[in-house]
Structure 1
Amino acid sequence: MLTVICRRGLSSALRNYRTLSSTKRSSSISGEESELRGDGAIRRKDPLGFTIEQTYASVLSFLRRNYTRDLTNIDVAVTGIPLDLATTYRPGARFGPQAIREVSPQVANRKPYPEGIDLFADLAVVDYGDCWFDLSQPHTIPTAIETHARKIIDQNVFLLSLGGDHYSTYPLLKAHVSRHGKPLSLIQFDAHCDTWPDESSNSINHGSMFYYAVREGLIDPQTSIQIGIRTFNDDFMGVKILDAEWVHQHSVNDVAEEILNRVGNRPTYLTFDIDCLDPAFAPGTGTPVCGGLTMAQSMSILRRLGSINYVGMDIVEVSPPYDQSNITSLAAATIGYRFLCLLRNKKIIDKSFSFGNYSNYK
């Protein structure tokens, strides 16, 4: 009996040694062949490839990408901006980044539809973690967000930000403009135009940041466009509006054509406020407005925007306390995944494109 136990122990030890040796040799998993499974966000050494994960467990990161601040050979860094001090109705967007991360594994569990591409075989994406700022010193927050973004984009890495309320786009735009040295075109999916006037330059207000951005020359209104708007403003400041009713009355091809014609080949920032979606598809947001876009419309439009010269992207205004069954977080994670598909195709198809390179936009 003792002999049998010893043999079993020896066999188990050999299996464990082989597993450990295999894991050391192969830190990036391709399908079922590797022994490295679970917690890829902290165990995977290579930013490319994927690990086999339990979608309901393990370390949280966006799409289970490496959780790191080492940006060597990285194409895209994802970061959270957990801010909701600028909200004018329902708070809770500070919990948005983590909620999006929580549901994102199931989005990445299969190849994207309809392309069927192996996204992370070609695109090196990491989760950089969240921007830190001192909530007790609100006047320091805009600079903290801008500085955080600059640390990333100054390393020639594309930045995808997860909000947080929509005010965060204002310091993010400042960081990108300081990098690229010119006004940017803006593609904004939103229920609200966010160009309501506010003469106080120190305000932290998620309804006026694009008023500041136009006034300060961060964005060019003549080459910018807002999609899904369904709230009134006396002055849209020259930004082209495709309101929700217009979108519902036209095809997704029509919408995409209007966007492409408006921004052309200019350096463009894309911001997606989750309240662009009808509350049926995104109940967990601070200022829901009925009559919005469906997820199907939004995904179809985004798929048609692959040729644009993007400099940065964000998804904002996810408020988990008002969500139901993670509907809104899932929508945001899916939109983020779609953004990455656009960037992957840009990298693979447009051989002259490189992330963070000024020459892309000349």
Structure 2
Amino acid sequence: MTTIADKADYSLYSNAFGYLRQPLNFKPLESDADVVVIGLPFDMATTGRSGGRMGPGAIRNASVNLAWEEKRWPWPFRLGDNIKVVDAGDLVYNCGDSADFTQRVEDFATAVVKSGKTLLSFGGDHFVTLPLLRAHQKVHGKMALLHFDAHTDTYSQGSKYDHGTMFYHAPIEGLVDPDHSVQVGIRTEYEPQGHGYQVIDAAHANDLTAEQIVDQIRARVGDMPLYVTFDIDCLDPAFAPGTGTPVMGGLTSDKALKIIRGLKGMNIIGMDVVEVAPAYDNSEITALAAATLGLEMLHVWADSQGKITK
């Protein structure tokens, strides 16, 4: 008699707990994983609509739509045959304590990166990137930043815990080098004078090809260690309505994926996708966009690290 446990082909949503159906491992440092996925359920730094703390769960849930493919189009290899990914679940912290959350993110990420593994993080609001950068800097030194967003997040007037101030503080702390960093998709107010980062604003990005944008990124970043952070509101609300601060005039999901694919061969050392707020989503399209961007980043990372053998 055939039982459910004997069946190799489970229904799409059966027992789908980890990102891309990857195994949950709450002790990732003891695993042989190449990449560790962590959810950061935090939205106490948001200035718009709250709800980003539910983002990691929504992204995992939507990712089952991607897990069935043997090979992710248009990549010519099967990711699971070449790298091992584990999902460490969501970071646990004292609820309502931003300081505790910030320190726990930094401590966890530091341990993962020092172990030689790479971290793919899902937020949560964009503040989570600041403690992640602090952790990566301890191992990789000052980094280049590739930042996809509708906002520069370089505002100096915010509070200590604010999802609009991370990239104001990051250069001051010596975490990133703005002279080798690029912000793509910006379409809100900022002060260009003394900004430091190269900005490819959304209006310009929408007029350029993905290849032209990638060329500018490569010229700016060079061979520096590169941290990639993707705020889902970089995408136009037509492609990602489920976010706290939607802004019209953003990138298409197609162009974003093409830009990510174009990073092949660059020295990517860390990645995150943030600001998914599923309460404002429709038919999981924002969560699916975030899950897909994460998967694309994993393929680029695997290819760039020379992990592809078949």
Same fold per superposition (TM over 0.5): yes
Query: CA separation of 1:261/1:53 partners in 2, compared to 1, >3 Å: closer, same or farther?
Result: farther
Residue 50 of structure 2 is matched in structure 1 by 91
Any gaps of 5 or more consecutive residues in structure 1? 1-11, 21-34, 38-51, 352-362
TM-score, reference length from structure 2: 0.94
Residue 81 of structure 1 is matched in structure 2 by 40
Residue number among 160, 165, 176 corresponding to 1:208 in the alignment? 165
Residue 29 of structure 1 is matched in structure 2 by none
Helix, strand or coil for the counterpart of 2:305? helix
Number of corresponding residues:
305
Give the AA of the match of 1:310.
I
1:193 Cα shift? Answer: 0.3
> Given that residues 81 and 161 in structure 1 are in contact (C-alpha distance below 8 angstroms), is that contact kept between their aligned partners in structure 2?
yes
Residue 121 of structure 2 is matched in structure 1 by 161
Does 1:135 find its partner at 2:95?
Answer: yes
Give per-residue Cα distances to partners, 1:160-192, cap 9 Å, x unaligned: 000000000000000000122x21100001000
Question: Percent sequence identity over matched residues?
Answer: 42
> Given that residues 42 and 124 in structure 2 are in contact (C-alpha distance below 8 angstroms), is that contact kept between their aligned partners in structure 1?
yes
> Given that residues 198 and 211 in structure 1 are in contact (C-alpha distance below 8 angstroms), is that contact kept between their aligned partners in structure 2?
no
1:36 Cα shift? Answer: 6.2
Q: Which of the pair has more CA radius of gyration?
A: 1
> Given that residues 20 and 64 in structure 2 are in contact (C-alpha distance below 8 angstroms), is that contact kept between their aligned partners in structure 1?
yes
Equivalent residue runs for 1:335-350 within 5 Å: 335-348=293-306
1:66 Cα shift? Answer: 1.2
Q: Distance in 1 between matches of 2:110 and 2:259?
A: 29
Residue number among 240, 247, 250 corresponding to 1:282 in the alignment? 240
> Given that residues 278 and 284 in structure 2 are in contact (C-alpha distance below 8 angstroms), is that contact kept between their aligned partners in structure 1?
yes
Residue 325 of structure 1 is matched in structure 2 by 283
Residue number among 137, 148, 160 corresponding to 1:189 in the alignment? 148
Q: CA RMSD in A?
A: 1.8
Residue 17 of structure 2 is matched in structure 1 by 60
Residue 177 of structure 1 is matched in structure 2 by 137
1:116 Cα shift? Answer: 3.8
Does 1:271 find its partner at 2:229?
Answer: yes
Any gaps of 5 or more consecutive residues in structure 2? none
Give the AA of the match of 2:50.
P
Query: CA separation of 1:73/1:349 partners in 2, compared to 1, >3 Å: closer, same or farther?
Result: closer
Report 1 or 2 for greater relative contact order, CA contacts < 8 Å, sequence distance ≥ 6: 2
Give per-residue Cα distances to partners, 1:11-68, cap 9 Å, x unaligned: x4xx78xx99xxxxxxxxxxxxxx563xxxxxxxxxxxxxx44222213110001111
1:350 Cα shift? Answer: 8.4
TM-score, reference length from structure 1: 0.81
Residue 24 of structure 1 is matched in structure 2 by none
Q: Distance in 1 between matches of 2:223 and 2:10?
A: 39
Query: CA separation of 1:277/1:127 partners in 2, compared to 1, >3 Å: closer, same or farther?
Result: same
1:199 Cα shift? Answer: 7.3
Give per-residue Cα distances to partners, 1:98-144, cap 9 Å, x unaligned: 00000101112112111242110001111011111112322222111
Query: CA separation of 1:133/1:344 partners in 2, compared to 1, >3 Å: closer, same or farther?
Result: same
Residue number among 114, 129, 140 corresponding to 2:74 in the alignment? 114
Give per-residue Cα distances to partners, 1:211-259, cap 9 Å, x unaligned: 0101111100000000000011125630000000111111111001001
Query: CA separation of 1:228/1:125 partners in 2, compared to 1, >3 Å: closer, same or farther?
Result: same
